[in-house]
Amino acid sequence: MALKFVSRMKRVVIDCERNDWEDIKCGGPQYLGFEFNVSDCEDDKDLEAWLRKTLKMYGHNIISIRIYKIDEDIWPREKIEECIKHTNFLI
């Protein structure tokens, strides 16, 4: 019987700096910044205002802030063990 645990949360993606072109050409991200998962109970407007204040306080640029709801599977130890057991990097 497969166990499934789902947590409702929000993902916050903050773009702060455009990445170096050479790094982008090699597969790096277009923007450098932060990505956090926060509780679904957080108020979006309050969270964004706090993030802007905090980023400014520590000298980070802000290109964009995106907040959206996600449902993520939370992996119990049994599922982690199954993944480890059935993964072979040498194939």
Q: What is the mean pLDDT of the chain?
A: 85
3-state secondary structure of 33: strand
Does residue 56 surpass a pLDDT of 70? yes
Quick check: pTM over 0.85? no
* Model pLDDT, residue 61: 94
Residue 12 exposed, middle or buried by CB count within 10 Å (0-12, 13-18, 19+): buried
